[in-house]
Amino acid sequence: MRERGLMQEEAEASQVFTPEMIDTMARIWTRSIITLIDVRFQNIASQYPLEQYKMPSSMFIYACGGEAQIQLNETTFGMERFGLVHGGKGSLLSISPKREIVKTFMVFYKAESPLFFKKHLQQLLEQVNPFVQQFGYTPSNPILLLDWFQQMLNDWNRGKAMDQLQAKSFLYQLIHGVYRDFEGGEIRYLQPIPASSAKIYLDKHYREPIMFQDIAAMFGISGGQLTRLFKKKEGMSLQEYLIQRRIEAACHDLKYTEATIKEIATGSGFADEKNLFRMFKKYYKMTPSDYRKINALSMQVDGIDNDSHLHYNERELANLVKSYRDGESSMFGQVRSKEMIFVAAMSLMLLLTACTSGTPANNRGTVNPPAETQQTTQPEVPETKASEAVSQTRTISTVKGDVEVPNNPQRVVVDYLVGDVVALGVTPLGVARATRGETEAVYSNQIKDSINIKMEPEDVMTLEPDLIILAWGEENYEDLSKISPTIYVPYGDMTTEERIHFIGDVLNKPEEAEAVLNTYANKIEEAKLALQNAGLSDVTITMGEFSDKINAIAGAKHAVGELIYNELQMQAPSKVQTDIIDADKYWGEISMEVLAAYMGDYLISLGDTEVPADNAVWKSLPAVQHNRIVTVGSSLSWSTDIMTSSALIDHIVNQLLALAK
């Protein structure tokens, strides 16, 4: 968690420095002893990038002349033509030009506290430490800064005391110019590159539990957006890359340590021994134990002569992932030839074992039972659909890549968007996250025979599904996709129309999807007409969760906000529009003291929290005084499927019409 917190801080390089922060930092610079250690210049070419340079002191780095990626620790920034970056001692710096040579100035300095200011400075440094602060931005006057850095370099290289004093004066001019830029607020901060930063994070933390949504949150984007950006850049999903890194670690430990399979699984980042076993079966077509035996034999054969041998990474992992066909990624290079090598090696090992032990060799070390004693249990499939379901498939393009699904799935498991599936005429075999109360009542009759399960691979496996539709637990995607075709729906990044068409394609129900959307569109138009006839089309609406201290005001990204502001096209108060909706926020946290400025003619109270009825500010609100409050329970306010949205429209519109009378 500490490492994740550090990365969160680094990803916030686009922060806005407040006047108070700037004043504090200026005081610290003024009262500190600054030693200019060195000034350097280097042309960095794309074929010879600067990689993982450990900064020996605090540094200003000024890069100019071309597009480049600048990496500080675990955060990668994108620079177009000019970029000024600052980092503290021990930070890892990388600069990778895209095409042209990038000119790079580096200023090394050290800061110390004088004895008579030490206590006071320490108090200020606890608020903000400008000497270790990490940031990157494009200066407001990049040519002026280029001139300063060039003069600083020239003066420093002359080597005379007066010249180096002049160089130090340019350092102070630089610091003053940077803080003036911050103060003006018209600068463009270098934005972190999510895909590159996520890869760096996974490389460092792959042995730990990983939540992709947490990584995405560091950059203020959704998990689906991060997945698409990562796949576009790396040619594979986040999950695939994470598994690759963990398998690399497991392979190394299997070859070069005496650790148990369980210890290796845990040490490599896998949830348990079974998970490691499944990964090896999928990618190596054998168990971890078999892999260990084969490589032990291979190492013995290699040891017969005295020739030099390739390092592990050169022989085993140099081409772990290769792109083929239309960008599809294959792990471990040419799988077919690899399998042939493994089979040959296994045969040799077993032959040697048979020769030395005198016992019959068996691929699994067990004796197969007579044919008449073997029984195979097949899942029941309705006879009228069996041949069609097994023999016919379609390919669906998703954010996780192309997925082959049954033409007419019979055993569908859904985790969140149950109402979408039911609306298209499909009764799920299993459902998860089906809430009680209002939401379940929307489609309770349709799912009364569905099995309610946790969306864990072990539970899903017991249902033997032929299709899984996943919208919530993205971290389970890889494990679930090994059970049956799994479709991930990034519902937060899709409109209702896009989502229904997509799920309609998955279920082979395009006509049903069109009919459902037409019905939904008609409902919205009827609701808008009813509101207009009641004189409510121009009123302002505020929605949120209200309490005595902090009020969470919902924007248009919230499920109810999307419906009210975008679909029913009702108006938001000007403060809600500018501070929350235009800022593309899901919520805006507002204190009770300023709540009145965000209030509309009507309130929609979301969730099951109690409205602060005895609060003086609350009681002074016109909407409260005139009882213009619509309540929406959490079971309706947190759901986004089309059946629940339809019920939500009826619920809100009926209450608004009743209040208007």
| C-alpha to C-alpha distances, 393 to 402, 409, 501, nearest whole angstrom | 12, 9, 18
| C-alpha to C-alpha distances, 73 to 59, 207, 506, 556, nearest whole angstrom | 14, 19, 42, 35
Residue 53 DSSP SS3: strand
pLDDT tens column, 571-606: 999 999 999 998 888 888 888 888 889 999 999 988
The pLDDT of residue 98: 85
At position 642, the amino acid (one-letter code) is I
pLDDT tens column, 491-509: 877 888 999 999 999 999 9
Residue of 476, 485, 473 lying closest to 458 (CA atoms): 476
The pLDDT of 301-310, averaged and rounded, is 44
The answer as to CATH 3.40.50.1980 being correct for domain 389-508 is yes
Contact between 212 and 474 (Cβ < 8 Å):
yes
The pLDDT of residue 211: 82
Residue 58 scores a pLDDT above 70: yes
The pLDDT of residue 318: 35
Residue 351 scores a pLDDT above 60: no
DSSP code for 352: H
Longest alpha-carbon distance in the chain:
98
Comparing 487 with 433, which gets the higher pLDDT? 487
Please give the model's pTM, rounded to 2 decimal places.
Answer: 0.44
Comparing 204 with 527, which gets the higher pLDDT? 527
For 286-310, b/e burial (b = at least 16 CB within 10 A) is bebebbbbbbebbeeeeeeeeeeee
pLDDT-based confidence at residue 352 (cuts at 50, 70, 90): very low
The pLDDT of residue 373: 33
The pLDDT of residue 303: 46
Sort strands 82-87 and 58-64 into parallel, antiparallel or unpaired.
antiparallel
Contact between 487 and 468 (Cβ < 8 Å):
yes
Quote the tokens at residue 250: 């497991």
Separation between Cα atoms, residue 654 and residue 282, nearest integer Å: 54
* Rounded (5°) CA angle 343-349-352: 140
Residue 173 scores a pLDDT above 90: yes
Regarding the domain delimited by 520-660, which CATH topology (the fold level of the hierarchy) does it fall under? Rossmann fold (3.40.50)
Domain boundaries, the chain: 2-192, 235-303+312-344, 389-508, 520-660
The pLDDT of 443-462, averaged and rounded, is 84
At position 661, the amino acid (one-letter code) is K
Sort strands 412-414 and 68-72 into parallel, antiparallel or unpaired.
unpaired
The pLDDT of residue 634: 65
CA–centroid distance for 472 within its chain: 13
The pLDDT of residue 39: 95
- Enumerate residues 6+ apart whose C-beta is below 8 A from 310: none
Separation between Cα atoms, residue 583 and residue 592, nearest integer Å: 21
HSE (side-chain half, CA atoms, 13 Å) at 378: 6
* Cβ neighbours around 392 below 10 Å, total: 11
The pLDDT of residue 341: 47
Comparing 588 with 364, which gets the higher pLDDT? 588
In total, the chain counts a number of residues equal to 661
Q: In what order do the strands lie in the sheet with 82-87?
A: 33-44, 102-112, 58-64, 82-87, 135-138, 188-189
Residue of 625, 644, 622, 624 lying closest to 634 (CA atoms): 644
Category of 535 on φ-ψ map: left (φ > 0), alpha (ψ -120 to 50) or beta: left
Strand spans (E) along 91-219? 92-97, 102-112, 135-138, 188-189
Work out the mean pLDDT of the chain and round it to a whole number. 78
pLDDT tens column, 458-469: 788 888 899 999
The pLDDT of residue 149: 95
The pLDDT of 381-397, averaged and rounded, is 57
Residue of 422, 416, 414, 467 lying closest to 444 (CA atoms): 422
The pLDDT of residue 610: 65
The pLDDT of residue 137: 87
Residue 533 scores a pLDDT above 80: yes
Residue 485 scores a pLDDT above 90: yes
Separation between Cα atoms, residue 123 and residue 268, nearest integer Å: 42
Comparing 191 with 180, which gets the higher pLDDT? 180
Contact between 354 and 360 (Cβ < 8 Å):
yes
Residue 59 scores a pLDDT above 90: yes
The pLDDT of residue 201: 82
pLDDT tens column, 144-162: 999 999 999 999 999 899 9
* Cβ neighbours around 162 below 10 Å, total: 9
The pLDDT of 351-360, averaged and rounded, is 42
| C-alpha to C-alpha distances, 324 to 232, 328, 330, 478, nearest whole angstrom | 14, 6, 7, 21
The pLDDT of residue 390: 41
Highest mean pLDDT pick, 15-29, 428-442, 452-466, 518-532: 518-532
% the chain with pLDDT above 90: 27
Asked if the domains 389-508 and 520-660 are classified in one and the same CATH topology, the answer is yes
pLDDT-based confidence at residue 551 (cuts at 50, 70, 90): confident
CATH number, domain 2-192:
2.60.120.280
pLDDT tens column, 13-29: 334 578 888 899 999 99
The pLDDT of residue 609: 62
Q: Where does 12-56 have alpha helices with state H?
A: 19-31
Sort strands 412-414 and 467-470 into parallel, antiparallel or unpaired.
parallel
The pLDDT of residue 116: 63
Residue 309 scores a pLDDT above 60: no
What angle in degrees, to the nearest 10, is found between the helix axes of 161-184 and 142-158?
160
Residue 547 scores a pLDDT above 90: no
| C-alpha to C-alpha distances, 177 to 106, 139, 172, 180, nearest whole angstrom | 17, 9, 8, 5
Comparing 608 with 339, which gets the higher pLDDT? 608
CATH homologous superfamily of 235-303+312-344: Homeodomain-like (1.10.10.60)
pLDDT tens column, 61-116: 999 988 888 888 777 778 888 989 998 888 889 998 987 789 999 999 999 877 66
* Helix or strand run (H / E) with residue 86: strand 82-87
The pLDDT of 278-302, averaged and rounded, is 76
Contact between 423 and 442 (Cβ < 8 Å):
no
At position 388, the amino acid (one-letter code) is E
The pLDDT of 349-356, averaged and rounded, is 45
Residue of 210, 215, 217, 197 lying closest to 242 (CA atoms): 210
The pLDDT of 36-60, averaged and rounded, is 91
The pLDDT of residue 344: 47
pLDDT tens column, 126-143: 888 899 888 888 888 999
DSSP code for 491: G
